[in-house]
Amino acid sequence: MDKFVINGGVPLRGEIATSGSKNSALPALAAALLTEEPVTLHRIPRVRDIRTMQRLLVDIGAKVDVEGESVQLTTPRIVCPEAPYELVKTMRASSLVLGPLVARSGRARVSLPGGCAIGARPINLHIFGLEQLGARIRQSHGYIEAEAPDGLRGAVVHFDRITVTGTEDLMMAAVLAKGETVLRNAAREPEVADLAGLLIKMGAKIEGAGTSTIRIQGVTELGGAAHTIIPDRIEAGTFAIAGAITGGDLTVNGCVPDHIGALLAKLQQVGVEVTQPQSNAVRVRAAGRLRSVDMTTEEYPGFATDLQAQYMALMTQAEGIAIIIETIFENRFMHAQELARMGANIRLDGKQAIVAGPRELTGAGVIASDLRASASLVLAALVARGETVIDRVYHIDRGYEKIEAKLAQVGAKIRRVE
């Protein structure tokens, strides 16, 4: 198992590039199942979750050709409409094939995800939505079996709570359903709008993606298309925090600043100078002292839960008390104990983390527990005195493309050891 060895204390300076969005690429890959024609996707990040999804799609019947950051998928027919437990347990986003499979072949068998490091994460809302569209759902042996032999039919689906992949799954099911589907209380994340953009290029009729009401007129078939995935806002946000926490001067290139608007506003309140040298770049400069500022995670356009752990690392270096409230997942504070091992003063109280700073962090052996928790440990290590060894970095490899190489280029002393 690989580890990162990081020697902290170097302010990051220079320019760092953003890769394509993992959470946009995953549903886009699944969307290729909706047509027998080729779908070409550009700016696909080279991370482990993407490789897992490609493996799943090959088993289902897709031919997948990868060339650098471009992937072409062709699915002449669905050979095996199934997402097995072995894959779903390593990547919950595998459930994104449920909607496309039922829509294309009238049948899907998808393993239920089970427990997760950040919370329960059920898929009941995906199932509820498919039932509204007329699918018959059975659960047995840990699997969901969905059937719609005569096809799906449009319906109004009102989500009980906002779900990102649930909205994406249902959108992919509804594009081939008979008649109109209206998704209410839909997720407004940029990844949902990006998926809609791809589906529209494939011939789907979708209005309102990116708002909380999405209207879809079903069509009888979809065709091939080419699409470029949006930049990864969570990676860009992680880098912006890296610049801030090290007291550096870092320009994050190739991002969409609006997509991290909530974070950038927070950074300014914290005392970081934030500018936009270009429409697709953000420069962060942190020369003086940082102030503690409270933060509550919310659905987009609120502060992303996927940046909460990284923000917590930043708050260990800020003066005062910051109250961080996690509202999306019930168990997403695993990084707090590891940050405490490095010297942070953090108290957990249910959904709240109370961080008192600034505290000098010192290098230690720590364990990555999930993707974003790992990113927060990298950030803490970049500012800690001495050497930090982060174990189980396979978590970070799920969602960050060559993070150690990118950070090293802007001055970080980080290396991967096997």
Q: Rule CB under 6 A: which residues touch ligand EPU?
A: 23, 26, 92-93, 119-126, 161, 163-166, 191, 305-306, 328-329, 371-372, 399
Strands 320-325 and 205-207: unpaired
**Nearest distance from residue 166's CB to ligand EPU, in Å?**
5
Report the residue number, 330 or 360, with the smaller CB distance to ligand EPU. Answer: 330
196: exposed, middle or buried (Cβ count in 10 Å: 0-12, 13-18, 19+):
buried
Contacts for 28 with CB less than 8 Å, ≥ 6 apart: 41, 194, 195, 198, 227, 229
Report the residue number, 76 or 114, with the smaller CB distance to ligand EPU. Answer: 114
Report the residue number, 165 or 317, with the smaller CB distance to ligand EPU. Answer: 165
Do the Cβ atoms of 316 and 359 come closer than 8 Å?
yes
Do the Cβ atoms of 314 and 270 come closer than 8 Å?
yes
Rounded CA-CA distance 377/364 in Å is 10
Q: Distance of CA 12 to CAs 192, 234, 249, Å?
A: 32, 18, 6
Give the DSSP H or E segment for 284: strand 281-285
**Nearest distance from residue 210's CB to ligand EPU, in Å?**
15
Report the residue number, 93 or 381, with the smaller CB distance to ligand EPU. Answer: 93
Q: Catalytic pick from 17, 66, 116, 323?
A: 116
Give residue 78's identity as a one-letter amino acid code. Answer: I
**Nearest distance from residue 92's CB to ligand EPU, in Å?**
6
- 103 token code pair: 């829509």
The string of DSSP letters for 385-414 reads BSEEEEE-THHHHTT-SSHHHHHHHTT-EE
Active-site residue 116, yes or no?
A: yes
In sequence order, the β-bridge partners of residue 226 are 40
**Nearest distance from residue 297's CB to ligand EPU, in Å?**
8
Report the residue number, 42 or 161, with the smaller CB distance to ligand EPU. Answer: 161
Rounded CA-CA distance 362/405 in Å is 23
- 207 token code pair: 């209005």
**Nearest distance from residue 95's CB to ligand EPU, in Å?**
8
**Nearest distance from residue 305's CB to ligand EPU, in Å?**
5
Rounded CA-CA distance 225/313 in Å is 41
Rounded CA-CA distance 10/293 in Å is 24
- 222 token code pair: 């979809």
Do the Cβ atoms of 236 and 259 come closer than 8 Å?
yes
**Nearest distance from residue 319's CB to ligand EPU, in Å?**
29
Report the residue number, 109 or 332, with the smaller CB distance to ligand EPU. Answer: 332
Q: Quick one: which of 399, 317, 409, 367 has its CA closest to 90?
A: 399
Active-site positions read 116
